[in-house]
Amino acid sequence: MKKTIAMVLMLVMLLTSFIYASPNSRNMVTMLMDGRNTDFHVAGLKMFGEKIETDVPPVLHNSRTLLPVRFVAESMGAEVEWDQEQYAATITTEDKEILLMIDSPLAVVNGEIKPLPDEVAPKILTYKGSGRTMVPVRFVAEVLGLEVDWDNDTRTAIINYREISENEGVVENIRFTKGGVFPEIRIQTGKEVEFSTFRLSNPSRLVFDLENTKFDLKENPGIASNSTLNKHIGERGIVSLRASQFKTNPLTTRIVVELEEDKNHKTYYDEATGEMVISFINYVTSVTTETMNMREAIVIKGDYVKNYNMMKLQNPNRLVVDIKDSFLDYSGNIQNFIVDSNNIKGIRISEFQPDHHYKPEDKISRVVLDLYETYDINKMEYIVEEDLMIIFLEGKPLETLQYEETDWTTSTFRLTSNVVTNYDFRIVNSGRRLEISIPKSDIQLPLETIRIDDHIIDKITINEDNRRNEYIVEIQLKEGVEYKVISPGRGKEFLLELSNKDLKYREMLIVIDPGHGGSDPGAISPVKKIRESDLALDVSHRLNKLLVDAGFRTYMTRDKDTTVSLVDRAAVANQLEADLFVSVHANAFLSTSANGVETLYYPSENDPKDHRNNKRVAQIFQNQMVKTLGRRDRGIIPRDRVYVLRETEMPAVLTEIGFLTNPEEEALLATEAYKQLAAEAMFQAITTYFEEINNK
């Protein structure tokens, strides 16, 4: 969102570039309206205490002040786009979209239809030979969170920032502390305020929106010229924080905490200090069993697990791990469970009441491995990182045999000896099974069958031929797997490269962007009250399932009803280096007769620095949507100001699957069948696009 200071700076520049008569003049001016010359009273304009003069004068029309739409938008830090076909202007900020149609007494604000005051509609007025789109200043300013007053003596519209009400709070200070057990960010508000929160990735960020709060720090170093607080922390897994006035209507202060990795937290109000507190609690998030390179392992994950005690106990045979200064995150994979293993019977997890080994106030998460009496606990080994503990029950994984995935469709199999030796490679069963023989004196291998069951290998079996004193390693491949011997037959290492080219889509990453969400519901249908954000999320989940089932990799910019900024939607797609970006939306318009499907794209063909073929992708999507849904073809529409289409670095489209404001399509959009067809149409368009580029 454009920040307050940006708006002020814009106005300062405007003051030097716009000229006209004195704003408190009572002069009349003649303009052409609706084909006739019409006399208007000239109005004055004062913004944030400064008198403003424009090249086209503000005028009074039916007791409302009209201003040129482009001046209104740009002076308030917004962008404006004119639709010549619809005779409509769209004013856009990061959290608002206002659609104003010439001669219509209705406006659309973030998809919701609103009446204009006194039914004074936008007009095209011709002044000195130039036609200008004039819009009611009060309506636009108030939607953007500003206050508008009228001075009748001077006929001047006065625009100012909105005053803080008794129900609103003020953020006066933000500080980081390490007091107590957990690190905290403390926000001085003087009262408890409501808030919402969501996470972003790459890098990991935690976003807090403090509702009905004005960002007004009294004393705090780190305030930038754009009124944004930037504070480097660099401790306890917290990299930095940023804070600013994110919205003015309603007032919202946004705090973004960048983390080294995702951390759990709780937020509460401290009455003693008058602060909202974000406490970064150290949680143990999961305890699981895994197989790591053919070795059974217990994996304990948390925010910080390096502070621990480990005890090997007898009668009964068990291993106790205490993660200190932590709680259990019961929303994660935290539960007691039985283990189907030759080494361990089960795992018990609890928040331990401190005994004589600890202080009474200590917070302990205890993990108990119940071992079989026959298990030799001395062969257990473990490694500990900041957020991860791995306990290898059978010793660390083999160094002489390794199998690992190297790409989405390829893996490597490696045998390693300490000496130069012979590797006898054979092909069995028409290439479905590979065999390698190695002298037993040159390598150490266990005699076992290792079940892999991934997209490359079914299983690996290690046998021995005592007559020839050799190990025989058998690799059972999956259907469609190709192999290539990389190393020579004699040496210290034998290396196979394995690939499954039948999994052609596994290399492709599709970012699915369900439009709107959280505090932004998008358009709302008039009869069934369908929220565009809910509809887009539903269809996106259906599309995601179709893609995953076909082998694609996917990422959804949101998978529930949360707020995600346009900046972050594009940024995460770029950081993931996605192959395609698909934004899912539904349409709305002032006229209920508007209907059909359309596809928006950024006109990269007009940008020499943009080598994406967005237009072709959009045409593929539009063709498939029309064919599958059977709705009116509204065509593909170039839009150079749609942020998620312009700022993404991969081919990107925004598909409008129907009009929520059209009675027939509203009824269709409410059905499971239509939503599934929309997802299937997008899926077919995606596969068609990749088939086309792969065949070039």
Tens digit of each residue's pLDDT (9 = 90 or more) over 22-59: 334 458 889 888 889 989 988 888 877 778 777 788 88
Sheet of 97-101, strands arranged across: 79-83, 88-92, 97-101, 106-109, 112-115
Residue 434: HSE in the Cβ half-sphere, 13 Å Cα cutoff: 23
Token couple for 468: 């020839």
Residue 632 has pLDDT above 90, yes or no: yes
Strand positions, DSSP E, 137-261 = 146-151, 156-161, 169-171, 173-177, 184-188, 195-200, 205-211, 213-215, 229-235, 238-248, 251-259
Residue 401 has pLDDT above 80, yes or no: yes
Residue count (the chain):
696
- Separation between Cα atoms, residue 252 and residue 519, nearest integer Å: 11
Residue 19 has pLDDT above 90, yes or no: no
Q: How confident is the model at residue 2 (pLDDT cuts 50, 70, 90)?
A: very low
Measured in degrees and rounded to the nearest 5, phi and psi for residue 257 equal: -105, 115
- Separation between Cα atoms, residue 219 and residue 172, nearest integer Å: 8
pLDDT tens-digit profile of 169-196?
A: 888 889 998 756 678 899 998 889 889 8
Determine if residue 180 is left, alpha or beta; phi over 0 gives left, psi from -120 to 50 gives alpha, anything else beta.
left
pLDDT tens-digit profile of 645-676?
A: 999 999 999 999 999 999 999 999 999 999 99
Instruction: Map residue 117 onto helix, strand or coil.
Output: helix
Mean pLDDT of the chain: 86
Instruction: Map residue 156 onto helix, strand or coil.
Output: strand
CB under 8 Å, gap of 24 or more: what pairs does 6-14 form?
A: 6/77, 6/226, 7/75, 7/76, 7/77, 8/48, 10/74, 10/75, 10/77, 11/47, 11/48, 11/50, 11/52, 11/75, 14/52, 14/71, 14/74, 14/75
What is the per-residue pLDDT for 16?
31
Q: Considering only CA atoms, which of 501, 487, 498, 488 is closest in space to residue 434?
A: 498
Packing angle between helix 672-694 and helix 614-629, nearest 10 degrees?
140
Is residue 142 a contact partner of residue 249, using CB atoms and an 8 Å limit?
Answer: yes
Q: Which residue in this structure is represented by tokens 């179709």?
A: 546
| Residue 4 vs residue 514, higher pLDDT | 514
Question: Any residues with CB less than 8 A from the CB of 353 and at least 6 apart, and which?
Answer: none
Lowest mean pLDDT of 71-85, 402-416, 617-631, name the range.
Answer: 71-85
Is residue 168 a contact partner of residue 213, using CB atoms and an 8 Å limit?
Answer: yes
Is residue 71 a contact partner of residue 62, using CB atoms and an 8 Å limit?
Answer: no
Lowest mean pLDDT of 222-231, 260-269, 289-298, 357-366, name the range.
Answer: 222-231
For the chain, give the percent of residues with pLDDT over 90: 41
CB count within 10 Å of CB 649 equals: 15
- Separation between Cα atoms, residue 332 and residue 302, nearest integer Å: 10
Residue 75 has pLDDT above 70, yes or no: no
Residue 14 has pLDDT above 60, yes or no: no
What is the per-residue pLDDT for 222?
64
- Separation between Cα atoms, residue 508 and residue 553, nearest integer Å: 6
Residue 91 has pLDDT above 90, yes or no: no
pLDDT tens-digit profile of 100-147?
A: 899 998 988 887 888 888 888 888 888 888 788 888 888 887 787 777
What is the per-residue pLDDT for 114?
85
pTM of the model: 0.51
pLDDT tens-digit profile of 238-282?
A: 899 988 888 776 788 899 999 887 777 888 888 889 999 988 878
pLDDT tens-digit profile of 537-581?
A: 999 999 999 998 888 999 999 989 999 999 999 999 999 999 999
What is the maximum span of the chain, computed from C-alpha positions, in angstroms?
Answer: 113
Q: Which residue in this structure is represented by tokens 């599934």?
A: 676
